[in-house]
Chains A and B, each alone.
Chain A
Amino acid sequence: MSMTGNKISIKLTHQGVLVTLLFGLIITFGLIEPVFFRPSVLLDVMAIMGDVGVMALGMTYIITTSGVDLSVGYNQQLSAVVFGMVYLSTRNLALAIAAALLCGTVLGFFNGLIVAKTKIPPLVTTLATMYLFRGISMILAGSMTYSGFPQGFRLFFTYRLFGVLPIQFIYFTAVFLILDSLYSYGALGRNLKGMGFNEESVHFSGVKIQKIKIGIYTLLGLLCGFAALMYLGRLSVAKTSIGDWINFQVITAVLLGGTSINGGVGSIRGTFIAILIIGVLKKGYTLMSLSGNIFNFTLGTILILSLIVFAVTEERKNVVSSKIRKTNIPTRV
């Protein structure tokens, strides 16, 4: 393990809390709405969070370096629109899939380029590109919706392995396993955490920081493109409201999962569990026929609470004070 014995116990507790929360929620919903205990419903939980999930996994990398990407949702939306447009005009599925993935990647690369090469803080950069991507997707699609994708494509994302296990969950788990191994056991994770704590020191270790930054934003872009496909495979309609509040769900999952908004400390596994928790909430709210707004309201509250809880525990662990903060660059923006 890469952390001290002391820290492991804290982290395990955090993940323990998350797991407890997960089961607590399932049981609560089950008691309110007994249908929730049905295996099919629980499996559905796994299916509905795939797209948000892969983006949250990629976002964990970025937040670990004390960056952030607010544009994720609209990147996904624009990629979905591009998919719809390309497919409906060419009827070539492979081309459309490639176009969607490429679109996501390029947008992510664009973010990464600005973050790495200029001094504009990531929050501001991606706030601006968030509006930009949203605007472009609206310009492209107008008020149109794209649908009528072939059954084969849908099967890619709605197939159930052995008739039970949703394939979206398998994709999500696969991405999780790859990203987690690089994060927890790889050189990349080491550098990401180092950058979150003290970027200059990592630079003085001969690490090419700019490349890493461009790389992780591009990776997240690619995952957004993939998330667009997952979304379309599941819901089959490309329209210009797909991206609303997605960035916010993604960031909530990452922070709830135990990654610090100040960088340095993070956990892909925490994000994984947090995504499941959010999935349970979403499904539970749907079953209780509560609106999407209540779901978002709950998430907003969770996000603020996890920020506060993290700030308080971080202070206690004294991670913040031992960390050399960059002067002059306002950390709050």
Chain B
Amino acid sequence: MKKSIRMTREVVLAIIVAVFILFLSLTTNFNTVSGIYSFMLDISPTIVAAIALSLVIFTGNIDISAGTIMGFVAYTAGKLAEAGIPFVIFLPAGMLVGVALAGLNGYITVKFKVPSIVVTLAMNMVHIGFYATFLPMSGWIENLGENFTWFGRGRFLNIIPYGFVLAFFVSLLFMFIMKYTKFGKALYAVGGSIQSAMYSGIDPDRTVIKAFLMEGLLLGIAAVMKATTRSDVMPSLFIGRELFFISAALVGGVSIFGGVGKIFGTVMGALLVYLLSISMIYLGFQDYYQFALQGIIILAAVYITVTDFSLLKKSYCKETDEFPGKKGEEA
């Protein structure tokens, strides 16, 4: 059997990303040490969170409250760090918070059979309301010390942030999980066809909840990663960030209908979306152009997926040679 590199969507994306980086490094200060460092620093949490969202989208669901869940995680981590608790404890604690909140989303979605987008939209609101109402100073924590920021600000060889290494390993781990584990295959199955999944002995409800739990775990990591780059933390830091994660996943080839996509694609998607947005800043566009851009990206990415579907279907139609007439003559 031939082993040639197929021009899959992921490969094309990787090439685009490479060209993009090349272009940026030629025209801007992107290829300086600080440029590369800040690029890696910014992109790491986005990659991890985009992988988190991908897991949920694989099953045909979505989580609009991802950003605000990260806010809770960051608050938890900050609060613990303020009390002098070390990274090895506040990281798992944060992940646990992520798991609990995302798990609640998954539970309501599955148990009451309501669309996850509506559940998580409402949760988004509840979370934000909660910050402002119940957290002292709306969850703002200032002057966090070295025991908090060492992870976010630390770097290997003076250039590679710790977070980037972590993101790298998380990406590898989930590429592995999606390809080599029952759990990974079950996610694709449930997103592909619930009925066929059941015929294959997979419990769709449990699989969806597991996907949400895993999402929460990763959101926890991503939030701690991002928060520890700062000495002050507030939950509202993450409001609206889910938009980037979702468009990263969709650009990376994850189908909004579920069942299709690769983690490598998501990582490439995250890079591309990030590069697009920083180039806009380099080009002098204001920050709020991002919203319009992301909206268009989501529409375009989904539209491509949808059209691909119908094109595929057309090619299935059996061509019969005895068909004489041309199209267009009115019946």
Residues of A within 8 A of B (CB): 68, 70, 114, 118-121, 123-125, 127-136, 138-139, 142, 240, 245, 247-248, 251-252, 261, 291, 293-301, 303-304, 307-308, 311-312, 320, 327-333
Contacts and interface: CB of A to CB of B under 8 A. Distances in A.
B257 interface: yes
B86 interface: no
B108 A124 contact: no
A135 B292 contact: yes
A142 to B, nearest CB: 7
Contacts of B75: none
Given A131-B295, A135-B292, A139-B292, A297 B128 contact: yes
A281 B237 CA distance: 28
B116 interface: yes
B122 to A, nearest CB: 4
B226 to A, nearest CB: 21
B163 to A, nearest CB: 27
Given A128-B299, A303-B122, A293 B131 contact: yes
Interface residues of B, number: 52
B60 A333 contact: yes
Given A297-B133, A304-B122, A333-B61, 15 more contacts: A125-B302, A134-B292, A134-B295, A135-B293, A248-B125, A297-B129, A300-B122, A300-B126, A303-B121, A304-B119, A307-B122, A330-B191, A332-B113, A333-B115, A333-B117
B323 interface: no
Nearest to A138: B288
Contacts of A296: 125, 128-129
Contacts of B113: 311, 320, 332
B121 A294 contact: no
Contacts, number: 160
Given A139-B289, A303-B125, A330 B303 contact: no
B9 to A, nearest CB: 18
Interface string B210-247: 00000000000000000000000000000000010000
A308 B291 CA distance: 32
B199 interface: no
A297 B123 CA distance: 9
Interface of B: 60-62, 64, 108-109, 112-119, 121-133, 191, 193, 195, 243, 256-258, 286, 288-296, 298-299, 302-303, 306-307, 309-310
B193 A328 contact: yes
Contacts of B109: 332
A297 B292 contact: no
Contacts of B127: 300
A248 B121 contact: yes
Contact of B122 (A114, A118, A248, A329): A248
Contacts of B256: 120-121, 124, 333
Residue with the greatest number of chain B CB neighbours at <10 A, chosen from A240, A291, A328, A332 = A332
Given A333-B116, A333-B117, A301 B126 contact: yes
A306 B294 CA distance: 31
A156 B118 CA distance: 35
A132 B128 contact: no
Closest 9 A-B residue pairs measured CB to CB? A297-B129, A135-B292, A132-B295, A135-B291, A293-B132, A300-B125, A131-B295, A138-B288, A300-B126
13 contacts: A123-B117, A125-B302, A134-B291, A138-B292, A142-B286, A240-B288, A247-B121, A296-B125, A300-B129, A303-B121, A303-B125, A331-B115, A333-B116
B288 A119 contact: no
Nearest to B117: A123
